[in-house]
Amino acid sequence: MKLLQVLNGEPVWPPPVWLMRQAGRYLPEYRATRAQAGDFISLCLNPSLAAEVTLQPIRKFGFDAAILFSDILILPMALGQDLRFTEGEGPRLPPLQHIQQLNLAKAPGIYAPVLQTVANLRASLPPQTALIGFAGSPATVSCYMLDGEGGGGFPRTRQLAYEQPGFMDNVIELLAEATITYLQGQLDAGADCLMLFESWAGIFPPAQFRKYVIAPTRRITTALRAKNPGVKIIGFPRLAGLMLGEYAREAGVDAIGLDTVTGLAEAKAACPPNTIFQGNLDPLLLKLGGKAMDEEVQSLLSSLKTRPHIFNLGHGITPDVPEQNVARLMELIRGA
């Protein structure tokens, strides 16, 4: 598997490629399957349909990796927090008030269908295609749990981190423990490697970044490696800025996902030598296509030839991306 070769530090050319949200609304077959499921959460918890939408972009574009189709908020739902997705509004949860509202023991029974999806995928994927399991990192998941919705800078989460650090600490600690169990379940079910999405790393100032982003991530990676010594883990500390290097040194991940605003040269300067990167084409260019996309893809590729790298976006595919632009992207990478 090319992806695992790169995560082991081997240069591979052309680089392996997969795209965040590669299974999604830009594909008509995804939209049809989601309609069949009835709603987004039902799709995530239907092993047959969730496996199907995971496989759709693999069949169509031949990506080097499939990433489990699910959502980072399935875990808080499994812990006992109500979750709903409203079209055009995103996720909604009742803001968490007490740690006692969460039940660690019941969670595996609720997310069991997700693990079955992983098993179904491992049985269905081509042998050369890596299967990526994933979870949200505790800091990012806590943002949704404490504020109850995405966007807006998560003011309640930030306030609690200052005014009620004990409560915040308890939430992060419980999430770290739950995430270890959840990701171990994905590995046991057949995932080849893992990814931790820290989508809101950028809202935390340095001291809180160390406490709520780096420390729990290190706890998760350490615990998983204790049971799975060779497991490879990609971290995606979106908008980490000047904290990127410290995250790379201290979080215990094997590769760093780069967001759109982080240049490869700047990331190389900030992180330890031989850090493996994933990324980071601007998703807007994938929407626009044409000369602008071609030139940026060629520029990225020309800067990667001497190092292990996983080609990806700096954030997820948007629903308005034309399929032919994804096909063109794959043509450019495969022909490099």
> By the 8 A CB rule, do 281 and 273 touch?
no
Any idea which residue has 């490879």 for tokens? 232
In the chain, the N- to C-terminal Cα span, in Å, equals 19
Catalytic residue among 21, 158, 219, 238: 21
How far, in Å, CA of 269 to CA of 260, rounded?
17
Q: Is 71 among the catalytic positions?
A: yes
249 among known catalytic residues: no
Q: Are 267 and 261 in contact (CB under 8 A)?
A: no
Residue that the structure tokens 């930030």 belong to: 158
Q: Rounded to an integer, what distance in angstroms lies between the CA atom of residue 146 and that of residue 56?
A: 34
Active-site residue, 111 included = no
Report the candidate in 27, 78, 22, 70 with the shortest Cα–Cα distance to residue 50.
Answer: 70
Phi, psi of 84 (to 5 degrees): -145, 150
* Tokens 């739950």 belong to residue: 178
CA distances from 198 to 21, 251, 284 (A): 15, 12, 21
The catalytic residue among 26, 30, 34, 238 is 34
Active-site residue 34, yes or no? yes
Tell me phi and psi for residue 130, to 5 degrees.
-75, 150
Residue of 26, 30, 111, 144 marked active site: 144
25, 31, 122, 225: the active-site residue: 25
Strands (E), 163-267: 193-198, 233-237, 255-257
25 flagged as catalytic: yes
CA distances from 172 to 75, 142, 209 (A): 13, 7, 12
Q: Which position among 71, 122, 294, 307 bears the catalytic label?
A: 71
Two tokens, residue 119: 């098993």
H or E stretch covering 220: helix 215-227
CA torsion, ordered 170, 176, 180, 182, to nearest 10 deg: 80
Cite the active site residues: 21, 25, 34, 71, 144
